[in-house]
Amino acid sequence: MKRILGDHRQMIDSFLEERKGDLAFILETVSYEELQDPEVLRHLLNRLQKTSPAFVDLGIFDTRGVHINYQGPYDLTGKIYKNETWFKAVMENGVYISDVFMGFRKIPHFVIAMVKHSPTHTWVIRATIDTLFFNSLVETISMGHTGEAYILNTKGLLQTKPRSGGDLMDPEPADHQLPVFHQGMKLSIKANAAGDDSLVATTWLKNKLWMLVVKQDKADAFRTLNTASLLIVLTTIIGILIIVLVSFYFTARIVQRLEKMDLEKEKLRFQLIHASGLAELGEMATGFAHEINNPLQIIKSEQALIQMNVVELVEKEGIKPSDTLGELDDSLNQIGLQIDRCATITQSILKFGRRNEPASQSLDLKQFIPEIIAIVDKRANLQNIDIQFNTNSRLDLITADPAQLQQVFLNLFNNAIDAVVEKHRPNGGWIQISATNTHKNGVEMTISDNGIGISPENLKKVFTPFFTTKPVGKGTGLGLSVCYGIIKSMGGEMTVFSTNDSGTVFKINLPSDKGNVWERGNDETI
């Protein structure tokens, strides 16, 4: 706004200077005598109008204010201006630029007048400047919707037409205060006619008679600024919104992953505890079993000795058979049986805890599993249990100790038969065994049955040593824990899924034998 004000002040100043210069040039180059000639004056006006179309007319006056020569659209020759303000002022100051006034012509105009003193004469030259033309010079200033510019004289009267309305020579519509002279430019905020704040910049022209006013509604002036601020605020809000949304999204994802990791960690921890617990328990049990075996051996020997002595007594001393003797015999037999039972348990424990390296070799499960099925087939057939084995022709070989793996499968098959028999006597039971390649260079075997299943609380304990649901004396509770230990020692995984009363699935994952891995993805089932 200041820039506009400054530029236009310069423009108007130089315009007025130029017009003064034009007149000064005429006064210097053309003599008083020559100026008496209407032809010369007409010629001069033409020349002036060529340089600036603002010139309307040109007149020469003598010291008495008589219009001695005039060229222009009006017939003003001979009129006397002696008492006109401008004439008095020009005679006094040498140069004069009038305010806009009506004069004799009854149309707004302003004049520039200059005095020339020569040794013989004193005369005045006066040019009228078209206010319309001058108007357009100022009016071209327009900014936004409400920006306008106009010129006020010292009395606060309009010298050009403002864009917002108001006529020439009228006081400024919004501001009736008399303009006060000031140096340079002045910016202020004033309420306009509508009551809104306006930004007003003022500066005085060089002649100190006219003040250039540039005015714009505050809202309008700051529109771009406001728009920019609005844009910045909007962008910021949208940015924040996006950041918040994105952070929410990522936070949610991270939380989700953390939860997943937590879950996996928990699972891993459980497995670790389970595994280390099993190992510790195995070690303890082995030591325990070994220590038990020695006293057991003695008890067994003692029992055999007692039995032998009883036989001797009967034979040599002639003791007759009696209830007492029968009971004694029965008791001794029972002791023998119980010792054997203890022996079975200790043997199982020792098997479970044994630390020897398995004799691993490449195994083809396609042949190996049917061989084991054949062992239990007779028992299954008796119970009308259907055993099926599914695999595919491109099954990987695995590395395993055949004896150990046989123990695992026999254990699982026998368990499955027991479970199925309990639920589907005399028929309707099935056991399905499958072996397939996994995506991660391994083989997965599943042993599913439609037996009684395992209750959720028991499911947690199936791999724990000595846990059994079988009646006392029927199971040691070591079978599955031994299986678990064997599979783990082969670098595999063993898991169990079960629904109470509808069946159980054991899954065993074993790594494939290196160098015997089929390409994945085109398995055909046989």
The residues binding other proteins (CB under 8 A) are 289-290, 293-294, 296-302, 304-305, 308, 312, 339, 343, 346-347, 350-351, 354-356
> Which pairing describes strands 148-153 and 122-130: parallel, antiparallel, or unpaired?
unpaired
- Residue 260: enclosing H or E segment and its boundaries? helix 223-317
Q: C-alpha angle with apex 453: 451 to 459, nearest 5 degrees? A: 150
* 239 burial type by CB count under 10 A (0-12 exposed, 13-18 middle, 19+ buried): exposed
Q: How far is the CB of 307 from other proteins (least distance, A)?
A: 9
Indicate the residue among 208 and 355 with the shorter CB distance to other proteins. 355
Q: How far is the CB of 406 from other proteins (least distance, A)?
A: 15
What is the torsional sign of CA 207, 208, 213, 214? Answer: positive
Indicate the residue among 170 and 291 with the shorter CB distance to other proteins. 291
Q: How far is the CB of 486 from other proteins (least distance, A)?
A: 14
- Residue 109: enclosing H or E segment and its boundaries? strand 109-117
In the sheet that 430-437 helps form, which strands lie side by side, from edge to edge? 386-391, 430-437, 442-449, 503-511, 493-499
Q: Are 127 and 19 in contact (CB under 8 A)?
A: yes
Q: How far is the CB of 285 from other proteins (least distance, A)?
A: 13
**What one-letter code names the amino acid at 27?**
L
Tokens read off for 465: 């040593």
Indicate the residue among 314 and 343 with the shorter CB distance to other proteins. 343
Tokens read off for 166: 């108001």
Count of beta carbons in the 10 Å neighbourhood of residue 500: 14
Q: How far is the CB of 485 from other proteins (least distance, A)?
A: 15
Alpha carbon 516 to its chain's center: 47
Task: Tell me which DSSP letter residue 206 carries.
Answer: T
Indicate the residue among 358 and 370 with the shorter CB distance to other proteins. 358
DSSP letters spanning 311-322: HHHHHHH-PPP-
Indicate the residue among 239 and 287 with the shorter CB distance to other proteins. 287
- Residue 503: enclosing H or E segment and its boundaries? strand 503-511
CA gap 355, 2 in Å, rounded: 97
Q: How far is the CB of 376 from other proteins (least distance, A)?
A: 24
CA gap 389, 369 in Å, rounded: 8
Task: Tell me which DSSP letter residue 485 carries.
Answer: H
329 backbone φψ class: left, alpha, beta (φ>0; ψ -120 to 50): alpha
CA gap 351, 358 in Å, rounded: 12
Q: How far is the CB of 347 from other proteins (least distance, A)?
A: 6
Q: How far is the CB of 398 from other proteins (least distance, A)?
A: 21
Q: How far is the CB of 430 from other proteins (least distance, A)?
A: 36
Indicate the residue among 301 and 455 with the shorter CB distance to other proteins. 301
Indicate the residue among 48 and 490 with the shorter CB distance to other proteins. 490
Indicate the residue among 289 and 387 with the shorter CB distance to other proteins. 289
Nearest to 35 by CA among 65, 71, 63: 71
Indicate the residue among 51 and 309 with the shorter CB distance to other proteins. 309
Q: How far is the CB of 377 from other proteins (least distance, A)?
A: 28
CA gap 373, 389 in Å, rounded: 9
Indicate the residue among 299 and 459 with the shorter CB distance to other proteins. 299
